[in-house]
Amino acid sequence: MIPIARRYRGAERATGPLIYIRRTPTVALGEWVLIRTPGEGLRRGQVIDAGRDVTVIQVLEETVGMPPARAEVTLTGEVGSVTVGRELLGRVLNGMGAPADGLPAPIGEALRPIWAAPLNPARRERPADFIETGLSAIDGMNTLVRGQKLPVFSGPGLPGLDLAARIVEGARAPHGEPFAVIFVGIGITARETDAFLERFERSGARERSVLYLNETRDPTIERLLAPRVALAQAEFLAFEAGMHVLVVIADMTHYCEALREIATAREEIPGRRGYPGYMYTDLASIYERAGIVAGRPGSVTQIPIVTMPDDDITHPIPDLTGYITEGQVVLSRELHRQGIFPPIDVLPSLSRLMNAGIGAGKTVAEHREWADQLYAVYTRGREARTMAAIVGEAGLSPADRRALAFAERFEHDFVGQEDARRTIAATIDAGWRLLDGLPREDLLRVSDATWEARHRTPTGSAT
């Protein structure tokens, strides 16, 4: 059916980036709008509230000086959609899906709506494998499972964006399955855009990636559309092209700030810290588009980066994100001050789906024992570090001194990976090398069977 355009003369009023028109009985949520005013160029917009009496339109261009009473508003009848397809791999697009690399607009394989629905819980497949990021603190201790939503909680001045770029460069499907990465930059600066492009080009990651880059100078509504445009592409690659797709979104804090800005312009009653009361539902409409669909090939996995204002994990943005997602990776300011990259604090970090993605049967048990033992000794080492600041290292027990030395090695040799990418096998081996430096009596989380399997030569004699 061919969409029918409807034209209205004069808007009710304008507030910031929003205009309001009355008596639009056939309007659709997400419908594209064209706005013309005498003596000015054409503006674009999108319906963000299709009310019975008043329709709210978000204008994509600057509205300063626009006379709402003289505006000619055309509802195009076309709901927001975006071009998707394997042809987009290697391309750089803006937050609306338009080319930002100087190349022609992609033809693609299909058009998909931007405002798609989250996955039906009844159609979700149980996760059963993982994605290898190349970072030991994630792969070994907080494993990212296909179909999972695993946010990174960063802070002002911490290298959240650098970590996102590192994940884009190093992520792989460990068994050689078709794999792609989609990177969404929300509210990033022009300098950060140039740095990302140069880095991905140099590392070769761009060939298997699609980049959607929304800069600070772009319209506010584009921040809200960028992750949805990217997820439309991810869903096509995953569920129709059979690929495993990792979507890295940086930064969701900028997304939520745009959501608050538009809510303020609409004069809505604010919720916690001025954010709209529906922010939980809005975030869920993005996060819940990750998953595996039963009977379909491929998967969509998300790593959203969240910069916590004032390092406050109880702030509404990380708080609501934590309710929706399956764990979190927390960056440490203390490790960052020591020059450790990535500065991931493994103790408050968690992947709730880790056991589902690290193997089957005996493999799960061995990996779980290995990770639990690293956690246990590192926790004791952190406690010993606090105690040493009070009584001195000489006042510690021999076991505590060993744990203290282990904590130092763990942070610098295991968590710290300035350049080298590690496979999951190299990660496991790096952890065992740390544990091998401790006597058997310190390793209470490792069973005798696992210990003997680790220390047995290929011929069967103990090492």
* Residue range(s) of every CATH 1.10.1140 domain in the chain: 362-454
Going by C-alpha positions, the residue among 282, 284, 260 that lies closest to residue 270 is 260
H helical segments located in 152-278: 160-170, 190-203, 220-239, 252-265
Tokens 């952890």: give the residue: 431
CA 223 to chain centre: 14
Taking residue 307's Cβ as centre, other Cβ atoms within 10 Å add up to 23
- DSSP characters over 358-395: S-STHHHHHHHHHHHHHHHHHHHHHHHHHHHHHH-GGG
**Average pLDDT of the segment spanning 149-163:** 95
Contact between residue 111 and residue 81 where contact means Cβ atoms under 8 Å apart: yes
Provide the pLDDT for residue 209.
Answer: 96
Contact 34, 44 (CB under 8 A): yes
Cross-strand partners of 345: 330
Q: CATH 3.40.50.12240 region(s) of the chain?
A: 82-357
Distance of CA 387 to the CA centre of its chain: 37
Spatial CA neighbour of 37 closest among 85, 79, 70: 70
Q: How far apart are CA 347 and CA 333, in angstroms?
A: 14
Bond preceding residue 251 cis, omega within 30 of 0: yes
* Per-residue pLDDT tens digits for 342-356: 999 999 999 999 998
Q: What is the pLDDT of residues 131-150, one digit of tens each?
A: 999 999 999 999 999 999 99
Q: Which residues lie closer than 8 Å to 61 by C-beta, 6 or more apart?
A: 43, 44, 219
Share the mean pLDDT of the chain: 91
pLDDT in tens, 212-270: 999 998 888 889 999 999 999 999 999 999 999 999 999 999 999 999 998 888 888 89
For 82-357, CATH gives 3.40.50.12240
Query: CATH 2.40.30.20 region(s) of the chain?
Result: 6-79
Type of residue found at 48: I
For every residue of 110-140, which 3-state class applies, written as one string? EEEECCCCCCCHHHECCCCCECECCCHHHHC
Determine if the pTM surpasses 0.75: yes
Other CB atoms within a 10 A radius of the CB of residue 210 amount to 27
Confidence at residue 347, expressed as pLDDT on a 0 to 100 scale: 97
Query: 362-454 adopts what CATH topology?
Result: 1.10.1140
The CA-atom distances, in angstroms, between 431 and each of 224, 347, 356 are 41, 16, 21
Q: Which fold has domain 6-79?
A: Elongation Factor Tu (Ef-tu); domain 3 (2.40.30)
> DSSP alpha helices (H): ranges in 288-330?
316-324
pLDDT one-digit tens code per residue, 58-77 = 888 878 888 888 899 999 88
Q: How confident is the model at residue 13 (pLDDT cuts 50, 70, 90)?
A: confident
Query: Coil, helix or strand for 412?
Result: helix
Q: What angle do CA 69, 71, 76 make, to 5 degrees?
A: 135
